[in-house]
Structure 1
Amino acid sequence: MAFSALSRPIMKAAKPNLLLCFDAFGTLFSPKGPVAQQYAEVARQCDFTGFSDKELQSRLLEAIKDEREQNPNYGKATGLGATQWWTNVIHKTFTPLLRNNQALPPTLVPKLIHRFSSSEGYEAQRDLVPAIRALRERISQQGVERLVIGVITNSDDRVPDILSSLGLNVSPLRYGTPFDASALREKQFDIDFHCMSYDVGVEKPDRRIFNAADIMLSHIIRARYKETLTESEMERWQKVYIGDEVAKDVVGAAEAGWNPVLLDVDGNSTEITSLEDTPQQTLEDLFAEHASVRVGSIRNLVSWLTGSEWEKR
């Protein structure tokens, strides 16, 4: 969809700094095909046959439900860890499908673990990488002094690896994980930090996972600029969150004091104002008028924020 007001520049932001965070699954990337279908495909590549896709899907859903009950938060709560958690899910999915004293193919688990930790199993939102980089290059022209981009997601710890495999330059900074502050000063990243429910211990819409992003922002400001982010300085930051689910992303972000943007690729949420149809204005003015807005693509979001169209390189 074309913008009707892109030729008009955005007014200089009242808040000169922007903390822009994204959901991961369904927003920055999505599975290349139904997960159960991909499981079946990999199994057959490993010469494991004799099951239907419908049967496998049922077993997979049961396995995930069972593992969540036994080892909450992808195994973090019981010290199991995400890799072993998914290994258990795979075993619980396929073991009931074995026939005639078969054994699980030894390559099945590592192939599936790798697939769903990389671009082999996921595809990026259209124009994701050039859009993020165009935002980095152009946002200062709209009066934004400092831009920090993060990920806040209900997920285990695979997300940074997935985003890296999709071509983004990802910072090592994760909530609850030690990091090398010098790396943040010496290098520009596409994604500055991650707040994953696996690390934070709560899931959206719980406001504590959004509050964790404030802590990450403080770490980054201290590392990059050797400044302490006081409460008054925090007031100079506009906090915007983009996700694809109303209940978890829009409602959760709003209740945590963030400005929510719904990524609505299919255009189904017509009750929410479309950013593509919104005249250019400051973010503060936009969200003073609308509790939330929706946008059809990451590209359109960046075009609105920067006030101009851009070409992929």
Structure 2
Amino acid sequence: MRSSLRWVLWDIKDTLLKVRVSVGEQYCKEARRVGLHLSPVEVDAAFRQVYQQYSRGYPNYGIAQGLNGETWWTKVVRDTLTRCRVEDPALQNTVANNLYHNFCTADNWEVFPDSKKALESCSSLGLKLGVVSNFDARLEQILHACELRSYFSFLITSEEAHVAKPSPAIFEKALQTCGVPAGSVVHVGDHYVKDYLASQSVGIHGLLIDRHNKHSQADIPAERRLRSLEELPSRLQEHLD
């Protein structure tokens, strides 16, 4: 990294926060509200199959096919429930609607213990912060609920940008918003391809947060890998003016 760092861009899910409990547990909790009793294990398995199907057939919330985040997630929930032998359209729609809106609350999200301190430290170093996330339009509301929104100057979601990581285009949009050269920007994320490689493809300095030591790729220099966000401020400070 050069000494001209001005911005830190952030991935959100599994970088700064994570879903509090499994999809199966969440779906079953909502199903119980309408009198349905399902198995979290069965729902988890069904969801994984449906999610993969829709991610392949209707990538980035189906924007190119005329869908949006809410309709995409509604279809995913309905098809998941169908695989679990819940076929009543009214019940499916009720559960899907409740899940979509409940995931805007802090109850369903857990902020990692090192997240807020890292964001505060970056700000104290004089760096501006932004978000580049493969997320739907609920992200701003979620960040408000989790008391994270105030740290960021801007948010770019894949639904609103109509392009998703690992496409370089979403990072180019971010660079336009930052108004500085790519060499003055760092991106922090947990995905090797979508965050680390994709950001580097446009000249941004990619940093990979690898809390559980899952990534063993030899092409990730030690100084580009973080075991905890507690390591980030000192890593950045070494390369500031």
Give the one of 196, 211, 223 matched to 1:265: 211
In structure 1, give the amino acid aligned to 2:209: L
1:301 aligns with 2:232: yes
1:215 aligns with 2:202: no
1:35 aligns with 2:9: no
Partner of 1:47, secondary structure, is: coil
- Supply the distance in 2 between the matched residues of 1:202 and 1:105 (Cα, whole angstroms): 29
- Supply the distance in 2 between the matched residues of 1:101 and 1:206 (Cα, whole angstroms): 38
Could you report, residue by residue, the CA deviation over 1:173-197 in whole angstroms, capped at 9, with x for unpaired residues?
A: xxxxxxxxxxxxxxxx411112222
- Supply the distance in 2 between the matched residues of 1:62 and 1:154 (Cα, whole angstroms): 19
- Supply the distance in 2 between the matched residues of 1:257 and 1:45 (Cα, whole angstroms): 49
Q: How many residues align structurally?
A: 235
Offset of residue 206 of structure 1: 1.7
Offset of residue 21 of structure 1: 0.5
- Supply the distance in 1 between the matched residues of 2:129 and 2:161 (Cα, whole angstroms): 18
Q: Does the Cα contact within 8 Å between 1:94 and 1:104 map onto a contact in 2? A: no
Could you report, residue by residue, the CA deviation over 1:240-284 in whole angstroms, capped at 9, with x for unpaired residues?
A: 111111122111111111111110112344654444xxxxxxxxx
Partner of 1:213, secondary structure, is: helix
1:44 aligns with 2:5: no
Deviates more, 1:116-125 or 1:206-215: 116-125
- Supply the distance in 1 between the matched residues of 2:121 and 2:65 (Cα, whole angstroms): 42
Offset of residue 95 of structure 1: 3.3
Which residue in 1 is equivalent to 2:11? 23
Which residue in 2 is equivalent to 1:57? 44
1:14 aligns with 2:26: no
Question: Which residues of structure 2 form unaligned runs of 5+?
Answer: none
- Supply the distance in 2 between the matched residues of 1:58 and 1:47 (Cα, whole angstroms): 21
Q: Does the Cα contact within 8 Å between 1:22 and 1:241 map onto a contact in 2? A: yes
Q: Does the Cα contact within 8 Å between 1:23 and 1:153 map onto a contact in 2? A: yes
Which residue in 2 is equivalent to 1:94? 81
Greater helix percent: which structure?
Answer: 2
Aligned-pair RMSD on alpha carbons? 2.8
Q: How does 1:178-217 map to 2 (within 5 A)?
A: 189-217=150-178
Give the one of 176, 187, 192 matched to 1:246: 192
Partner of 1:167, secondary structure, is: coil
- Supply the distance in 2 between the matched residues of 1:197 and 1:100 (Cα, whole angstroms): 31
Larger Rg: 1
Q: Do the aligned partners of residues 58 and 100 (structure 1) sit closer, same or farther apart at CA in structure 2, a change above 3 Å counting?
A: closer
- Identical-pair percentage: 27
- Supply the distance in 2 between the matched residues of 1:131 and 1:70 (Cα, whole angstroms): 37
Question: Which residues of structure 1 form unaligned runs of 5+?
Answer: 1-12, 141-146, 171-188, 219-233, 276-292, 308-313
1:151 aligns with 2:131: yes
Offset of residue 93 of structure 1: 1.6
- Supply the distance in 2 between the matched residues of 1:30 and 1:249 (Cα, whole angstroms): 16
Offset of residue 124 of structure 1: 1.2
Q: Do the aligned partners of residues 131 and 103 (structure 1) sit closer, same or farther apart at CA in structure 2, a change above 3 Å counting?
A: same
Q: Does the Cα contact within 8 Å between 1:244 and 1:264 map onto a contact in 2? A: yes
TM-score (norm 1): 0.66
